[in-house]
Amino acid sequence: MNEHVQTVFNKRPRTWIANIILTVIIVGLLIYSFVGSEINLISLAQAGTKFNTMINEIVDINWGYFFGYGEGASFDDGIVFKMLETIAMTLFGTLIGAILALPFGFLASVNVVGKRWAKVGETILVLIRVFPELILAFILVKGLGMTPLTVIFTIGIHSIGMLGKLFAESIDNMDRSSLEALDSVGANVWQKVRYGILPNIMPELTSVTLYRFDINLRSATIFGLVGAGGIGLPLSLALTNTADPAWEMAGTVLLAIVIMVLFVDYLSGYLRKKLV
Amino acid sequence: MQVYTLPNGKSVKKPFNRFWIVVPMFIALCVAMAFVIPIDWSNVNFSELVVILRKMFTPKGTRTWGDYFGFMLTLGDEVADTLQMTFAGTLIGCVLAVPVAIISSSNIVKAKWLSMPVKFFLNIMRTIPTLMWTALAVALVGFGILPGIAAIALFSFGIMGKMLYEAIETVDMSPFEALESVGANKVGAFRYSVFTQIAPIYISYTIYIFEINIRASAMLGYVGAGGLGSVIKDNVLYNYDRVGATIIVMFALVLVIQLLSNFVRRKLQ
């Protein structure tokens, strides 16, 4: 028995050679990646002192700035208002995205348009999904200017990619027995859509859209950094002066972002759990 | 509420449709939010967008299409920078995430007082996007690809930590118990039960995160890190055609990486 175990043990695959080669390649690439980064001790020492100031100042939350009160400040200037603005832009953007995604979802669904057209629809959706949203925001901000509309359109267009794909999937995976049941009792097309398709896919569509809202809110926080509106704008303003960044402002904005994203994350998770 | 009586004598209540509560609430929310962001439609000018697009995607002034595409070929260094930044950042972040993910998995570490705070910490890390980490890192260490690497590493750390502990928590624990029962210590049991189950998932996640990061890192240069985004930043004032050319290169790069990553991940499964 023991000999048998020994022979099997000796026949075990020798993966360590491949592992070592792979490790060497990866570590080599990692070292190569740092070659161009111009690390030197002086800049690291400077970063060290700057890091100290950052830690000291970033926790010094400016509550007047946060809630928008104090001398000469109105609610509109505060971070809370910027948060509301960001949420509003995300809401409308996701709404537009969801509405636009419906026709794309039908176009990419094999059940609705057949295999060949579904391929075309899917390719369009992949291209939309892959196009980096920040570049889209950048292009739109140059064309439309710094209005909330820029962020809304960016979010709307970018959401089509993922929402369309998931919509198509939920249409394709739909349980068709209820449609047959409706056919058997003589329902017309509208009744079939109303009582057969909509109740079937609505919870899933809502759940997917809520999830997308969550993702969009995270990306809406950074559009400000490429010049579009939202909560990223005060952050980029606070960090403009690289010699002496306004860390306490940045800290205030970061705190707001963390609170907002965690809250919406929790809320959307709760609602999605209720839906399913 | 309507009550129907069926021919067999049973009475059926028509279920209440929540639609009529949810939809008005949603519309009210939208109206309230519309007051927060008043849109001045008189300032919105879509023809300006067309002008900008034409400026970006056609050669400027006396330049020819040859110059336009020639400029794309000069971007090799920046493409390499973007790839280096993403590679190093993803690798560092994903490796650092492993111990943290193990600590926060509730089936490995039974002490809730330890795993809960770590999970919360990972959650907070994930709320801050790569571009924001970059802006902070640039303010700290100055321009270059180093802040880009740091930002990508921090973001990868957060997302990998979360994905990995969720994967570890759903692992089949019976091999672990079997190994312990034949006398393996905790580390050995982990190495030959949990690790073997997690390794392929971990590699697949790493590739997936690399793919997310390459999409994000294309624009990191715009806030001061290196790579393709810095070309956009340098040309944004005078040379819109170069900005457009860079955008095309970015899109091509992201698309190629996406296709490659899909291919490799499909092979892994």
Structural tokens at position B41:
């439609």
The whole-angstrom distance between A106's CA and the closest CA on chain B is: 23
In this prediction, residue A153 carries a pLDDT of 92
B84 and A134: CB-CB below 8 Å?
A: no
Alpha-carbon distance of A206 to A218, in angstroms, equals 19
The pLDDT of residue B137 is 87
Q: Where does a domain end: A58, A90, A106? A: A58
Domains and CATH numbers, chain B: 64-268 (1.10.3720.10)
Looking at the fold, whether A132 and A262 belong to one and the same domain comes out as yes
CA distance B15 to B9: 19
pLDDT band at B151 (very low <50, low <70, confident <90, very high): very high
Report the half-sphere exposure of A53 (CA within 13 A, side-chain side).
Answer: 15
Point out the domain boundary residue: A12, A35, A58: A58
CA distance B40 to B21: 31
Average pLDDT for chain B: 86
The candidate with the shortest Cα–Cα distance to A139, out of B132, B232, B64, is: B232
Per-residue pLDDT at A74: 73
Per-residue pLDDT, A156? 94
B12-23 confidence digits (pLDDT tens) = 887 777 778 888
Rounded-to-integer distance, Cα B130 and Cα B229, Å: 14
A45 and A73 in a single domain? The answer is no
CB neighbours (10 Å) of residue B106?
A: 14
Confidence of residue B174 (pLDDT cuts 50, 70, 90): confident
A89: containing domain: 65-275
Shortest Cα–Cα distance, B190 to chain A (Å):
19
Task: Give whichever of A7-21, B155-169, B185-199, B228-242 has the largest mean pLDDT.
Answer: B155-169
For the stretch B60-116, pLDDT in tens is 777 788 888 888 888 888 898 889 889 999 999 999 999 999 999 888 888 888 888
| Three-class secondary structure of residue A38 per DSSP | coil
Q: What is the pTM (predicted TM-score) of this model?
A: 0.85
What is the model's pLDDT at position B256? 92
> Are B135 and A134 inside 8 Å of each other by CB?
no
Please state the rounded mean pLDDT for residues B24-32. 88
Residues A143 and A253 occupy one common structural domain: yes
Among residues A220, A143, A55, A239, the alpha carbon closest in space to that of B224 is found at: A239
Residue of B nearest to A240 (CA): B139
The yes-or-no verdict on residue B158 having pLDDT over 90 is yes
The residue of chain A with its CA nearest to that of B37 is: A85
- Which chain B residues have a beta carbon less than 8 Å from that of A258? 124, 127-128
- Domain count across chain A: 2
CB A244 within 8 A of CB A253: no
A129 shares a domain with A150: yes
Identify the domain boundary among A22, A41, A58.
Answer: A58
pLDDT at A154: 92
B contacts of A261 (beta carbons < 8 Å): 127
**Chain B partners of A47 at a C-beta cutoff of 8 Å?**
140-142
Per-residue pLDDT at B112: 84
pLDDT at A115: 84
Provide the 8-state DSSP code for A173: T
pLDDT for position B1:
61
pLDDT at position B163: 92
Range with the largest mean pLDDT of A113-127, A167-181, B154-168, B170-184: B154-168
Residues of chain A with pLDDT below 70 are: 1, 36-43, 70-73, 276
Rounded CA gap, A212 and A232, in Å? 19
Q: Are residues A187 and A211 in the same domain?
A: yes
**Those residues with Cβ within 8 angstroms of residue B62's Cβ, 6 or more apart along the chain or in another chain:** none
Residue range B48-59: average pLDDT?
85
Residue % of chain B over a pLDDT of 90 = 20
Q: Is A88 found in the same domain as A31?
A: no
pLDDT tens sequence across B197-219: 898 899 999 999 999 899 888 88
Cβ <8 Å between A132 and B142 = no
* Residue contact B46–A262, C-beta within 8 A: no
Q: Do A37 and B149 touch (CB under 8 A)?
A: yes
Looking at the structure, tell me whether residues A154 and A93 fall in a common domain: yes
- Clarify whether residues A36 and A81 are in a common domain: no
Q: Indicate the burial class of B237 (C-beta count within 10 angstroms; 0-12, 13-18, 19 or more).
A: exposed
Residue B96 CA to residue B87 CA, distance in Å, equals 14
Same domain, A219 and A180: yes
Which CATH number fits the domain that encloses residue A75?
Answer: 1.10.3720.10
Report DSSP letters for chain B, one per residue. Answer: --EEE-TTS-EEEPPP-THHHHHHHHHHHHHHHHHHS---GGG--HHHHHHHHHHHHS--TT--HHHHHHHHHTTHHHHHHHHHHHHHHHHHHHHHHHHHHHHH-TTT---HHHHHHHHHHHHHHHHS-HHHHHHHHHHHH-SBHHHHHHHHHHHHHHHHHHHHHHHHHTS--HHHHHHHHTT--HHHHIIIIIHHHHHHHHHHHHHHHHHHHHHHHTTGGGGTBSSHHHHHHHHTTT-HHHHHHHHHHHHHHHHHHHHHHHHHHHHH-
Contacts of A43 in chain B (CB under 8 A): 141-142
For testing the chain A interface, which of B30, B79, B122, B127 should be mutated: the one with the most A CBs within 10 Å?
B127
**Residue A88, pLDDT score:** 92
Beta bridge partners of B12: B4
Whether residues A23 and A74 share a domain: the answer is no
Q: Which of A39, A88, A242 sits opposite B146 (nearest CB)?
A: A39
Q: Do residues A118 and A176 share a domain?
A: yes
Residues A49 and A75 in one domain: no
| Residue B136 identity (one-letter amino acid) | L
Contacts (Cβ under 8 Å, ≥6 apart) of B266: none
Residues of chain A neighbouring B224 (CB-CB closer than 8 A): 242
What is the pLDDT, as a whole number, of residue A40? 61
